[in-house]
């Protein structure tokens, strides 16, 4: 029987497409989690993700075009997933295929850090409380079966998907539960990552605002044979674990301190540990049993910027003494020596000149050394690298580093060049620095070392205030 309304139906659908609307047919309606699942599990959703690619932004015209192909809720979900995956790809090898969301990615342990921690777990079963998107869970499966516990059902679904992406589904069981209510099986080890955003979108600055709070940490440590608690590296862990039989490990990744891991039970081998990744080097309080302060000598031929894990772990003095290093100034954490120390914990710089924090003097130094690219590092001075760089006249062919520092005296600067320690032997003897010997053997002529304490007007002081550095 002929359908006389077919033309009008086609016209109606064409009008809908012209307006950019599609009949919503997603399971769960406009629920964002269901929309994300639809995008991940259907051919149409996969096409949306493919079209979005790894774009940082989506233009209005592109959104309009995509909404002609799929429901608006699905397009929004695809945009969220694509942008979150772009960030996840920085942290995870398979981040481009994971089910993630922005806050979950931000809070997730970087894969290199998670794998480092997982190597210290030697249990057949691990409970990962507050598992989030499953970053630590995935790493723990290398040695254990994991109960991944989170109070958010959406996170549990994401964990299940991500376990499939990494091919470890048979070793992971996602469980929806509040951490405080979950009964940990006897003999299992624990990994706990307290939520730092439990009271809103802003990150908690005090550990008392974590969820679960420190009272729960103390309680669960008495119930479980061994494990680890992940904290911010800025947390006041010394106060909360002063009397506990724990090891506090500060972990950095490519020079950024990522977390403070509180170990208890079997993994404990010291009280404080600094670990730098990806080199996987470590330094503990067992290497420096003394508590002597590092001597202050003023800047020498070589300046060292220590890794933040050493600083936060409180191990800088022992490390400096072991390697015959001194401080450039009282209260300043830059180290110095006449010999080269080849260590991943140290970024080495060859001193060019010393100056006061004075704009005219600094611009004279920059012109003298023909500096066009300048990396600025600031410690203890009320100035940001960006604000200071904007006031300097850069334009030469050379690269350099400017160390801006204030100890217990006036602010000063050190103009220096970064030194590669790859393949160079550590020297602690008298005479010329090892870098000069190595440069000569390679027929390289480094810039001359001078220490000219400059002065003059135009200082970055009270009359010329600059913004306070963040953090």
User: The sheet that has 246-253: what strands, in order across it?
Assistant: 172-176, 145-150, 125-129, 189-192, 227-231, 256-264, 246-253, 272-277, 281-284
Measuring CA to CA, how many Å separate 416 from each of 33, 94, 188, 393, 447?
52, 39, 51, 17, 10
Is the Cβ–Cβ distance between 193 and 135 less than 8 Å? no
Rounded Cα distance, 460 and 412, in Å:
11
The string of pLDDT tens digits covering residues 58-98 is 888 888 888 888 889 999 999 999 999 999 999 999 999 99
For residue 296, which of 344, 330, 346 has the smallest C-alpha distance?
A: 330
Q: Select the CATH number that applies to the domain covering 104-284 from these four: 3.30.360.10, 3.90.550.10, 2.30.110.10, 3.40.50.150.
A: 3.40.50.150
Q: Which residues lie closer than 8 Å to 311 by C-beta, 6 or more apart?
A: 333
Q: Which residues lie closer than 8 Å to 229 by C-beta, 6 or more apart?
A: 192, 193, 194, 217, 221, 261, 262, 264
Torsion of CA 460, 465, 467, 468, to 10 degrees: 80
The domain segmentation of the chain, as residue ranges, is: 6-91, 104-284, 302-441
Cα end-to-end distance, the chain, whole Å: 75
The three-point CA angle 42-43-46 to 5° equals: 90
pLDDT at 444: 29
- DSSP codes of every residue in 137-173: HHHHTTTSEEEEEES-HHHHHHHHHHHHHTT-GGGEE
Q: What region, left, alpha or beta, does residue 359 occupy, with left being phi > 0 and alpha being psi -120 to 50 degrees?
A: alpha
Exposure on the CB side of residue 194, measured as CA atoms within 13 A: 30
CA torsion sign for 427, 430, 434, 440 is negative
pTM for the model:
0.82
DSSP code, position 4: T
For residue 449, which of 291, 338, 309 has the smallest C-alpha distance?
A: 338
pLDDT at 10: 41
Measuring CA to CA, how many Å separate 283 from each of 105, 250, 336?
29, 10, 19
pLDDT at 49: 93
DSSP code, position 442: T
Rounded Cα distance, 182 and 176, in Å:
9
Angle, nearest 10°, between helix axes 72-91 and 32-41?
80
Is the Cβ–Cβ distance between 358 and 456 less than 8 Å? yes
pLDDT at 423: 41
The three-point CA angle 319-321-323 to 5° equals: 70
Exposure on the CB side of residue 267, measured as CA atoms within 13 A: 27
Helices assigned H by DSSP within 267-315: 308-313
Measuring CA to CA, how many Å separate 442 from each of 122, 351, 399?
48, 20, 20
CA 256 from centre of chain: 5
pLDDT at 163: 98
- E-strand ranges in 5-95 read none
Q: What's phi and psi for 313, nearest 5 deg?
A: -80, -10
Is the Cβ–Cβ distance between 347 and 334 less than 8 Å? no
Weakly modelled stretches of the chain, pLDDT under 50: 1-23, 423-471
């Amino acid at each position: 029987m002929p359908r006389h309304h077919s033309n009008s139906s086609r016209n109606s659908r064409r009008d809908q497409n012209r307006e950019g609307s599609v009949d919503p047919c997603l399971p769960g309606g406009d629920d964002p989690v269901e929309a994300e699942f639809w995008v991940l599990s259907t051919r149409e959703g996969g096409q949306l993700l493919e079209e979005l690619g790894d774009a940082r932004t989506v233009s209005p015209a592109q959104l309009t075009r995509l909404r002609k192909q799929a429901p608006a809720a699905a397009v929004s979900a695809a945009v969220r997933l694509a942008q979150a995956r772009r960030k996840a790809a920085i942290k995870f090898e398979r981040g481009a295929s994971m089910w993630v969301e922005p806050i979950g990615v931000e809070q997730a342990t970087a894969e290199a850090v998670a794998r480092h921690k997982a190597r210290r777990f030697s249990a057949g079963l691990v409970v990962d409380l507050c598992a989030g998107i499953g970053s630590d869970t995935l790493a723990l499966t290398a040695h254990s079966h994991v109960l991944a516990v989170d109070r958010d059902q959406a996170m549990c679904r994401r964990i299940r998907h991500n376990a499939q992406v990494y091919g470890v589904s048979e070793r992971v069981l996602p469980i929806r539960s509040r951490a405080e209510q979950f009964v940990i099986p006897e003999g299992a080890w624990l990994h706990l990552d307290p939520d730092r955003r439990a009271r809103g979108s802003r990150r908690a600055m005090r550990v008392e605002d974590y969820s679960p709070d420190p009272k729960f940490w103390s309680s669960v440590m008495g119930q479980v044979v061994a494990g680890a608690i992940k904290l911010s590296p800025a947390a006041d862990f010394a106060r909360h674990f002063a009397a506990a039989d724990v090891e506090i490990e500060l972990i950095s990744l490519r020079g950024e301190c990522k977390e403070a891991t509180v170990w208890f039970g079997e993994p404990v081998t010291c009280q404080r540990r600094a670990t730098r990744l990806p080199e996987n080097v470590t330094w503990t309080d067992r290497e420096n049993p003394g508590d002597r302060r590092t001597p202050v000598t003023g800047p020498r031929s070589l300046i060292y910027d220590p890794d933040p894990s050493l600083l936060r772990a409180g191990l800088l003095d022992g490390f400096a003494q072991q390697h015959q290093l001194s401080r450039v100034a009282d209260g300043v954490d830059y180290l110095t020596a006449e010999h080269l120390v080849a260590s991943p914990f140290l970024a080495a710089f060859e001193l060019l000149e010393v100056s006061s924090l004075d704009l005219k003097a600094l611009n004279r130094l920059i012109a003298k050394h023909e500096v066009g690219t300048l990396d600025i590092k600031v410690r203890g001075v009320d100035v940001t690298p960006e604000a200071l760089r904007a006031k300097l006249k850069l334009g030469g062919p050379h690269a350099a580093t400017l160390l801006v520092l204030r100890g217990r005296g006036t602010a000063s600067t050190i103009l220096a060049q970064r030194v590669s320690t790859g393949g160079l032997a550590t020297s602690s003897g008298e005479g010329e620095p090892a870098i000069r010997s190595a440069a000569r053997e390679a027929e390289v002529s480094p810039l001359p070392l001078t220490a000219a304490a400059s002065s003059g007007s135009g200082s970055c002081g009270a009359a010329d205030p600059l913004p306070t550095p963040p953090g």
